[in-house]
Structure 1
Amino acid sequence: MGSFSIWHWLIVLVIVLVVFGTRKLRNIGSDLGGAVKSFKDAVKEEEKPTPKVEAPASGQTIEGEVKEKSKSQ
């Protein structure tokens, strides 16, 4: 009674196919595969060293918010 036989798994598979249908199971499988592929791509992208860009020494950064835009003449 501790483990399931092959017949138990076949009955479970038939019940799942009847409940969900083959098309929905295929869509779930392709969605899961796409998610795994995206995750792998994101991990590979994160491992790449990013080039460091240095700001010019004479430049100055001003933080602010534009409230009105006007055209200069």
Structure 2
Amino acid sequence: MGEISITKLLVVGVLIVLLFGTKKLRTLGGDLGSAIKGFKKAMSEDDTSVKSANNADAPADRISHKD
């Protein structure tokens, strides 16, 4: 088992294209891209909801009165 060279990667790529076809790979790539977009959107929405929940639950600053 040697290193993975560019020629080995090209051979594997050609075999994958021959097995699945370009149309199937194109739809698979589109589905994967939309899944990644949805995941990133959900993560950013989760971050903003956590930040807003932290701001709402934070106690108000103490006010000290000087006599």
> Which bracket does the TM-score occupy, shorter chain normalised?
0.5 to 0.7
Aligned position for 1:20: 20
Instruction: Report the AA paired with residue 10 of structure 2.
Output: L
Long gaps (5+) in structure 1: 53-73
Q: Which residue of 1 aligns with 2:64?
A: none
Which residues of 2 match residues 1-73 of structure 1 at below 5 A?
A: 1-48=1-48, 49-50=52-53
Q: Which of the two has higher C-alpha Rg? A: 1
Deviations 1:7-64 (A, max 9, x none): 2111111111000000111111110110111011111111121586xxxxxxxxxxxx
Question: How many residues in Structure 1 have an aligned counterpart in Structure 2?
Answer: 52
How far apart in 1 are the matches of 2:47 and 2:7? 45
TM value normalised by structure 1: 0.61
- Where does structure 1 differ by over 3 angstroms across 4 or more consecutive aligned residues? none
TM-score by length of 2: 0.66
Across the aligned residues of Structure 1 and Structure 2, the Cα RMSD in angstroms comes to 1.8
| 1:5 Cα deviation from its structure 2 partner | 2.1
